[in-house]
Structure 1
Amino acid sequence: MLAPTQPASPPDLSSYGRLPGPTTDLQQVKRDLKEFGYGFVKDALPPEQLSALQKRLKDQAEGEVKAGVAFFDGGPKKPNQRIWNLPNKGQEFLGLLEHPLVEEFIPECLGDGYHLSSYTANINRPGSKGMGMHTDQITINPAIPQFPLGVNLMWFLCDVNEENGGTRILPKSHNGLVAPNNMSDISGTTFASGPAGTCLVFESRLWHATGPNVAKEGERPVILQFYVRHFVRPQENFTLSVTPEVEAILADKAKQALGFRVTATLGGVEGFRPDGTMVKRPENPVVALNAEGSKA
């Protein structure tokens, strides 16, 4: 049995010749995703949708601060704010679950029955120290398999660049042949950059990290939709955390993504359910019974 190959240290960025940049050519983005582990879709959000998402996220962030339920990180002073479980927090976020790019990239990369592992926002503010290099697949499977188990869609709600904390990326690290020498060292990485409305598509094996924000003012809000294959346990248990009011208005594609669809016998309620069945919490679940058929 051959010993596993030891990943090499990050090469100089100039050795790549070119790196992915924002483009409206979806086939090029798919080629970049395959070659580099990431790609950028330019103008992924039309102006009206972008404006609505900017306002809804800003209002939600301020509301969570005032309600005393906000979550902060990004270093000792914790300048960054994260917003969890976006399906509950506005119709604008539900709309992104039906964005054409979901159907364009996710089934092709992850197969049928994919679902949402997490749906969050990260507001990176000046003074953020960034985070350690990681892959989104570390918590799914410690070993690097021959195919991705997840794909992330990161939506830029502002112009993103190196100064305001653009995500640090180690190109081509998704193939397991390159890895950071030190998780806290971003040398050898590039940074995500693109205008507001761009969508960064990257797969779960890619080494990356929130970049340090050295800007003097402003903030870098992004939304992250992390999808996984149907057999992977998600980070957020949406079938419990999504409110009944939201569940009632979800389209079937969104219900599938949030875990309400049976795929390959997985995700059933009270036993076997045919593939494709949409499930919900049973109103009259079968409980412990006595021999006469009454509750035990």
Structure 2
Amino acid sequence: MEVRRMEPIALVIRPVTRLRATFAGLGTMQPLTPDDLLIRHKPLEDSQWINRLAPGKGTFRDVPLERFQVLERQVREIPLTEDPYLELARIYLHRGRWQDAKRILDLAIERFPDSEDVNYLREEAQLNRALQLVEEAQQELRAEPTRLTREKLQRCEIELNVLREKVCRQRLQRHPDQVALQIPLAAALEYQGRIEEAIDCLRQASDDPPLRAQAALQLGRLLERVERIPEALSAYRRAALFRRPPPQAEIRRAALEAAADLAERYSLVDSARRYVEMLLEIEPDDAVLRLRLQKLLDAPL
């Protein structure tokens, strides 16, 4: 299997959250809806993903010993709901007790395999632990750059991306409408050298109007890496020029900059001029862009 060195950015989607509405005291499950994309450079802070699912407004900082004992006893007695498993797992995760959290969540998934909360927390715990291991391996490599530390980092990155692929596919299986999951899935596949599968994922995502500009930009970058230049330029152009809906300003600018750089690098002067002119429409007072355009206008076609 061909393995590409992972870049610093690790894309993971923040999965759907369960929304509850109560009417006359009756808890009614609402449809699952997609959340925003999350670009993770490091493991998430506890408060962002452990406490986010916790009931009430408290945290897990000062849980008395008696509460651990009560919850462990409830889990051993095989409770009728998932709540004791989730509360105990969150406590362990907050305290960094990964093996205890895994033990509880493994028990929970056996009892409640269809629970979105159980699946979500278990997957997030796995991803967060894998990201933490990558970060630790990076620190070890910086402190002592040896063959062993390099191999350890590569192994941790491979395991992270294999896990990311698994989690994305599991979530897509549970929620096929969550097309946004195709984007981090593509990143995981690209790292593993499975380029055609990654391209297919991004093309599926680009069919979804809210995602199409971001997916097309990522597709262009991937196609550029494998030197499929005409296809890469086409993807960048689409990312910048979609009309319904129009791309976000930062995506439009990034796509035009990438297209201009790529066209200029391959001596496609006329195309490079056009993309720089479009950048100047965004930033008309940018002196560097004006100088760049003048050089391109002076260059032979």
TM category, shorter: under 0.3
Higher relative contact order (CA 8 A, sep 6+): 1
Greater share of residues in helix? 2
Which structure has the larger Rg? 2
Greater share of residues in strand? 1
TM-score by length of 1: 0.28
